[in-house]
A and B are shown apart, each in its own frame.
Chain A
């Protein structure tokens, strides 16, 4: 920590909500990229998956005049890599750190206390099957090297760029 990356000087994942199909491919690509396996079937087939990016889905009914219109909302949410990350400040074990602007988790230190879940304003952390937290690390530490979710999105509803 110590040095803080302020502002926009790094690539992040951004959402183009109107282009999201709600196909959940990003979730599968995320789970696969972080599985350490080389084929998708052995990594994912018949197993519960714990993706670090999640589709948020909701149906909202808006009243326009006499007719009620149901609007379907869906888009992918993953860690924003906050410049001033509350999760890092709240983590009780030192598992969460900020390195060159990227918010990382050392899963061997995490004790699954949920403090980070309590403070993250985006709902970007969730436990895996063992109760250890996981979060998006932009695929910088797995074999893919850059966000697998973005690479596999069929409709550019998520992009990886500097803004």
Chain B
């Protein structure tokens, strides 16, 4: 009964396997994988559309990874019911599996809004999985007119992937700017301009109110004709398994800083989890890849009897289109909370650093990427700016801004 079950087979699941194996080399692990593929690098699906990544080369790990790590993967099977008292999980095939410790690494699913007439659209797609990508890839032709609903990361990465492969593309979003959950107006405008350069048309502050076959009638009354529709309005954490078992769920599955859910011996990690976000000091879903890996590893080590705490998660986003990259970490300042903003504009570039109570709490960089991770470390490690030469740091991220002792320890000390 000491066996491990991981529900899901994405980034969080792999990291969970690694975490378990740091502590326990022996006990068998069963991975329940709704998708029929070995885990792959999900963010590469847009690069596959573009032809920069090949599906057969997108595997997240070496071919013998599962075998080497003592994992049995049940491909094409879904966990549908969890019985926390009996410590069993039921699959859609009806099979019942006992577990010692279980990790929900179920990720998120595209949210499909109930728009009137959506059922009249023939060629409609979401953009979340390898299979979604392959279906879209097969549907687009050089003379396709594509409409993408949602100007977030997923919608725009899809647009980048299709650029040059179709006749035209229109992206709409109810928000007044692109990437509204990640960038401020100024940063968003730079990214939008880059996308427009490549012929992508935007309808912002507007969204599809109704579909009539190959025509969208917008809220504003405008109409957009298309033959391929991509729905990318957002994602929802896959929480049903835990919620229906009585586990605490908010937007995601609630976890503590050891990735434990409210159910005994049940953990959660990745896009499905609502773990502690140090940048806001509260729980929040952080649906980004680094977080899935860090949470998964933490969950795995703890499932195997280790004692790992993950309490410095912060949002970190690297978003690029056609060679223009935006990097953000932490959070920005609310209008009424005080603090200082250091801003710098270079031609086509933007740098904003948010400082509060002597700490760097976040940044937004567009087109200036060099050594950005040094600034990220100031946020994650809550390094008091009084201990370094922040004047130097804000001109350009550099470890030279640290004190001589810190530099000696960083570059001369044991790793």
Q: Do A and B come from one complex?
A: yes
Whether A80 pairs with B415 at a CB distance below 8 angstroms is yes
Please, what's the 1-or-0 string for B372-398, where 1 marks a CB less than 8 Å from any CB in chain A?
A: 111011000000000001001000011
The B interface, classified by DSSP as helix, strand, loop or mixed, is: helix
B373 and A120 contact, CB distance less than 8 A: yes
Please provide the chain A residues from 66 to 92 with a CB less than 8 Å away from any CB of chain B in the complex.
73, 75, 77, 80-83, 86, 89-90, 92
**Chain B residues near A3 (CB-CB < 8 A):** 21
Q: Which residues of B contact A73 (CB under 8 A)?
A: 400
A60 touches B392 (CB 8 A): yes
Tell whether, in the assembled complex, residue A113 and residue B329 are in contact, meaning their CB atoms are under 8 Å apart.
Answer: no
Chain B residues near A75 (CB-CB < 8 A): 400, 407, 411
Contacts of A8 in B (CB 8 A): 414-415
Q: Give the Cβ gap from A3 to chain B, nearest Cβ, in Å.
A: 8
Cβ of A119 within 8 Å of any chain B Cβ, yes or no, is: yes
- Contact B399 A77, beta carbon cutoff 8 Å: yes
Q: Which of B39-86 contact A (CB under 8 A)?
A: 41, 43-44, 47, 52-53, 57-61, 65, 68-69
User: Residue A131 at the B interface, CB < 8 A?
Assistant: yes
Q: Does A111 contact B (CB under 8 A)?
A: yes
Could you tell me the distance between the alpha carbons of A111 and B65 in the complex, rounded to whole angstroms? 23
A123 within 8 A of B: yes
Contact B44 A14 (CB under 8 A): no
A7 at the interface (CB under 8 A from B): yes
Identify which of B17, B58, B320, B397 contacts A123 (C-beta below 8 A).
B397
Assembled-state Cα–Cα distance A75/B317 (Å): 30
A163 to B409, CA, bound (A): 12
Q: Which residues of B contact A123 (CB under 8 A)?
A: 370-374, 397-399
Within 8 A of B (CB), among A1-49: 1-4, 7-8, 12, 14-17
In the complex the two chains form, is A121's CB within 8 Å of B376's CB? yes
B contact residues around A151 at 8 Å (CB): none
CB contacts (< 8 Å) of B21 on chain A: these are 2-3
CB distance from A12 to the nearest CB of B (A): 6
Q: Which residues of B contact A57 (CB under 8 A)?
A: 400
Instruction: Report if A126 contacts B (CB, 8 A).
Output: yes
CA distance A86 to B376 in the complex (A): 11
B399 touches A56 (CB 8 A): yes
Instruction: Determine whether B15 belongs to the interface, using a CB cutoff of 8 Å to chain A.
Output: yes
Tell me the smallest distance from the CB of A4 to a CB of chain B, in Å. Answer: 6
A80 / chain B contacts, CB cutoff of 8 Å: 410-411, 415
Smallest CB gap from B294: residue in A: A89
- Chain B nearest Cβ from A125, distance in angstroms: 8
Contact (A58, B413) CB under 8 Å given A118-B316, A118-B318: no
Q: Mark B355-376, 1 if CB is under 8 A from A, else 0.
A: 0000000000000011111101
Contact A14 B320 (CB under 8 A): no
Interface presence of A139 (CB below 8 A) = no
Q: A60: nearest residue on chain B (CB-CB)?
A: B389
State the CA gap A17–B407 with chains docked (Å): 9
Which B residues are CB-close (under 8 A) to A15? Answer: 411-412
- A sample of 10 cross-chain residue pairs with beta-carbon separation below 8 angstroms, ordered by A number, consists of A17-B408, A58-B392, A58-B400, A75-B407, A83-B415, A92-B44, A93-B44, A94-B59, A111-B53, A117-B373
Report B's interface with A, CB cutoff 8 A. 15, 17-18, 21-22, 41, 43-44, 47, 52-53, 57-61, 65, 68-69, 289-290, 293-294, 297, 316-318, 320, 323, 325, 327, 329, 369-374, 376-377, 389, 392, 397-401, 404, 407-408, 410-415
> Apart from A80-B410, A114-B318, what 12 extra A-B contacts exist at CB < 8 Å?
A56-B398, A73-B400, A77-B399, A83-B415, A89-B290, A90-B290, A94-B41, A111-B52, A113-B320, A115-B290, A119-B290, A121-B374
